[in-house]
Amino acid sequence: MDSDSDTDSNYGRNRRDQFSSFKNATIYLIDGSSSMFVEKPLPEESDSAFDVALKCSLKSLKSMIFGSPRDLFSVIIYGLSPERTPTMGKMSQYEGVHILTELSRPDLAAISGIENLLRDSLPKGIKVSSKDSSNSSSKLAEGFWLCSKLLDSAGKNVNSTVLLFTADSEPQMTREERKQAELRASDLMDAGTRIEVVGLSQQFDFLPFYKDLVVLPGEEESENLWKPPTVKGKLDTLLNQVVTLSRSRRPRAKINFQIGENFQIAVGIYALVRGAYLPKKVKLDRRTNEVLETVTTKYTMGENLEDITAEELGRSDIIKYQEFGGARIRLRVDEHRHLRRLGDPGLFLLGFKPKDMIKRHWFHRPCDFIYPEENIVKGSRSFFVALLERLQVQNKVAICRMIANSNSVPSLVALIPQEEVIDESGSQDVPPGFHVFYLPFADDVRDLNIEELTGDNPAKASDEEVIVAKKIIRKLEQKGGYKPELFQNPVLRKMWINIESMALDKDPEDFFDSTVVPPEIIDQRIGPLVEELSSLVTGKVGKRSFADGEEEQGSFKHESKKKMKLEGMANIENMILEGHAPKLTVAQLKEFLALNNAKIPSKAKKSDLIDLAMKAVGLSD
């Protein structure tokens, strides 16, 4: 029977498209007062707080244009005096509030504009002074009001976020101005907009002013799911934190958590990890460059599967079947959907088990994460926190039956308690909550007979071999555990570097594959231990022994690779002689120059490498 596109078997890639009808709108609201130009938030950097805010917006804009090109983005600066207005963008109808980029989809013009603004450390027209510091922060209410107006024009099905960048913990405001700012912020949050504050100062304190501004009444004593980032670490750390803040945090689903017959709370299902894929290819008309649309039409066919009749089939004309004992059991689409529905969506508590009962090899699909939805059922947060703390103390997990939505099949899950994790910079790395670990059913488990694979004499390592192997493991152990933020997908990274360079007409950045460790580093750490282990296992010191003809074959492969490399360099030389050097990559040019013993400057651009390559082949002096 054909599987529907919404079944859980397609979970990996479908997860990306679950909210295709929604789009995100992110507004960067940047303080333009004097403190932003004087404050240096990062000890190891010379950038002002204003420059750091622009770099954060640029980083998010590039991330959005790569991963979420349909989302909306805007940069607004508030608290500006007339002599400090940048040439980019336009002034709004509110005094002292400047729209740097309109709320629209990310484009190259916005990237180039912000890069040009950053290139001039203090943009043209902006002067650092203190004469307007007394009233610049009073424009915060106007900034929030403009955000509301822009988000109202974004349409429906929009998840909106306002990121406020400031270096002033306690802005100088009158009581009326503060009341206006709180009112505008409350209006934004009532409309469903999330407000996050990024403090760009080493001494920034979130509590005196901004907690009352962005935390709704009744939530003061609750644990926030997401905490404001800090600037205690490096610039890259802060940039990554801000990109995370700008991403949507809408739940995959909101369901009831049934505790007993007459008691339930509400929880949201979130995805902490989601696979990143290459963008879908779009077909264009070669002549007009217009986007082509694929339309699938189904027709009835003759018995010989060659004669196509003129009768076109609609969705209701198609049925599905399942073979059973040689017979075709036919089902209509609605019948098939009805058979798959085994209950209403929800999470149903079945009992508790020790945490060590969960085996790693049971993993068969990505985990989810649940957090209480207080706005749906009052008291959800209190019960959720109590359950979380008790399961952590008792080292147990909750076993539940879960149906995420009306199209999902039932799953047996274990709720694994997760305590809050704080990183080195003091920011929240993982929020407190429950990981939803999907347990396998009996039909999902595969029986692997080890005895059939190993035979009557299974191999066993000696005590000496085990000792050496343990030394190798300790030498290569990653301190601090695995950190995903340190490893970028090399395929995606290389593709986006090249696309960005072509779109912005600039030399591509040097590509670094973080998944590859130079062999000399490995050899330096464990070289002698590997030789020792090899001698223990094979009985010979040095390289492993080859079977008959294997060593000769390896030598032949080595010579073949060397020959292919030389032939490749010859092709590169021909391209340079024919005037096609600009088509070569930076890596190809550097490799060609290295083989020709040419001295390469450390900061050479692609144009410099082309000139050196032309000199190497004798085309220029």
CA distances from 24 to 156, 214, 505 (A): 11, 19, 28
The proportion of the chain whose per-residue pLDDT surpasses 90, expressed as a percent, equals 13
pLDDT of 4 > 60? The answer is no
User: Where does 439-518 have alpha helices with state H?
Assistant: 450-454, 463-475, 490-504
Residue 298, token pair as written in the block: 């189904």
199 vs 122, residue with greater confidence: 199
pLDDT number for residue 425: 61
- The arithmetic mean of pLDDT across residues 269-275, rounded, is 84
Q: Where would I find the beta strands (DSSP E) of 40-94?
A: 72-78, 90-91
- The arithmetic mean of pLDDT across residues 264-268, rounded, is 92
Residue among 193, 191, 96 at smallest CA distance from 135: 96
What are the domain boundaries of the chain? Answer: 20-246, 253-274+343-444, 493-616
For residues 30 and 165, the answer to whether their CB atoms sit within 8 Å is yes
Residue among 28, 24, 16 at smallest CA distance from 64: 24
Residue among 399, 400, 398 at smallest CA distance from 388: 398
User: What is the pLDDT confidence band of residue 81, given thresholds at 50, 70 and 90?
Assistant: low
Please work out, in degrees rounded to the nearest 5, the angle formed at the alpha carbon of residue 273 by the alpha carbons of 247 and 371: 75
Residue among 97, 115, 120, 114 at smallest CA distance from 33: 97
Q: State if pTM tops 0.85.
A: no
- The arithmetic mean of pLDDT across residues 233-247, rounded, is 69
pLDDT number for residue 233: 58
81 vs 526, residue with greater confidence: 526
pLDDT of 513 > 60? The answer is yes
Residue among 93, 74, 76, 88 at smallest CA distance from 32: 76
pLDDT number for residue 221: 41
For residues 36 and 232, the answer to whether their CB atoms sit within 8 Å is no
- The arithmetic mean of pLDDT across residues 89-117, rounded, is 80
The end-to-end CA distance of the chain, in Å, is 71
**What are 138-186's pLDDT values in tens digits?**
688 888 999 998 888 887 778 888 989 888 888 877 888 888 888 888 8
For residues 51 and 212, the answer to whether their CB atoms sit within 8 Å is no
Whole-number Å distance between alpha carbons of 590 and 361 = 46
pLDDT number for residue 350: 94
DSSP assignment string, 4-45: PTTSGGGHHHHGGGTTTT-EEEEEEEEE-STHHHH----TT-
**Which CATH code fits 253-274+343-444?**
2.40.290.10
Element housing 402 (H / E): strand 396-403
Rounded to the nearest 5°, which phi and psi values hold at 204?
A: -65, 135
Highest mean pLDDT among 67-71, 229-233, 616-620: 67-71
- The arithmetic mean of pLDDT across residues 33-51, rounded, is 79
Dihedral sign, Cα of residue 77, residue 81, residue 84, residue 89: positive
User: Where does 159-253 have alpha helices with state H?
Assistant: 175-190, 210-214, 235-246
Whole-number Å distance between alpha carbons of 199 and 245 = 13
Element housing 237 (H / E): helix 235-246
pLDDT number for residue 544: 43
Answer whether 20-246 and 253-274+343-444 agree in fold: no
Whole-number Å distance between alpha carbons of 106 and 61 = 6
- The arithmetic mean of pLDDT across residues 75-86, rounded, is 73
Element housing 390 (H / E): helix 380-394
**DSSP code of residue 539:** S
Whole-number Å distance between alpha carbons of 435 and 418 = 7
pLDDT number for residue 500: 77
Element housing 398 (H / E): strand 396-403
- The arithmetic mean of pLDDT across residues 55-72, rounded, is 83
- Where is average pLDDT lowest: 110-119, 171-180, 418-427? 418-427
Please work out, in degrees rounded to the nearest 5, the angle formed at the alpha carbon of residue 567 by the alpha carbons of 561 and 570: 145
pLDDT of 610 > 50? The answer is yes
Residue 412, token pair as written in the block: 């047996």
Residue 330, token pair as written in the block: 């036919």
pLDDT number for residue 591: 80
Residue 520, token pair as written in the block: 């000399």
Whole-number Å distance between alpha carbons of 235 and 511 = 20
User: What is the pLDDT confidence band of residue 417, given thresholds at 50, 70 and 90?
Assistant: very high
Residue among 488, 489, 506, 503 at smallest CA distance from 586: 506
Whole-number Å distance between alpha carbons of 171 and 8 = 51
**What are 7-34's pLDDT values in tens digits?**
443 444 444 444 444 678 889 999 888 8
Whole-number Å distance between alpha carbons of 436 and 457 = 41
pLDDT number for residue 427: 65
Question: Residue 436: how many CB atoms within 10 A of its CB?
Answer: 22
Rounded to the nearest 5°, which phi and psi values hold at 448?
A: -110, 110
| Residue 520 neighbours by CB under 8 Å, 6+ apart | none
Residue 36, token pair as written in the block: 């932003």
Q: Look over the chain and give the mean of its residue pLDDT values, rounded to a whole number.
A: 77
pLDDT of 451 > 80? The answer is no
Q: Which CATH architecture has domain 20-246?
A: 3-Layer(aba) Sandwich (3.40)
User: What is the pLDDT confidence band of residue 132, given thresholds at 50, 70 and 90?
Assistant: very low
**What are 345-399's pLDDT values in tens digits?**
999 999 999 999 999 889 988 899 999 988 888 889 999 999 999 999 999 999 9
Beta bridge partners of 312: 299
Sheet holding 194-199, edge to edge: 90-91, 97-104, 72-78, 23-31, 158-166, 194-199
Whole-number Å distance between alpha carbons of 18 and 270 = 12
**What are 483-495's pLDDT values in tens digits?**
777 788 888 888 8
For residues 138 and 113, the answer to whether their CB atoms sit within 8 Å is no
User: What is the pLDDT confidence band of residue 305, given thresholds at 50, 70 and 90?
Assistant: low
**DSSP code of residue 598:** -
pLDDT of 437 > 90? The answer is yes
Element housing 412 (H / E): strand 411-418
Whole-number Å distance between alpha carbons of 102 and 153 = 11
Highest mean pLDDT among 179-188, 209-218, 423-432, 506-515: 179-188
Whole-number Å distance between alpha carbons of 114 and 100 = 9
Whole-number Å distance between alpha carbons of 81 and 98 = 10
Highest mean pLDDT among 215-219, 252-256, 516-520, 563-567: 252-256
pLDDT of 561 > 60? The answer is no
Residue among 199, 189, 185 at smallest CA distance from 228: 199
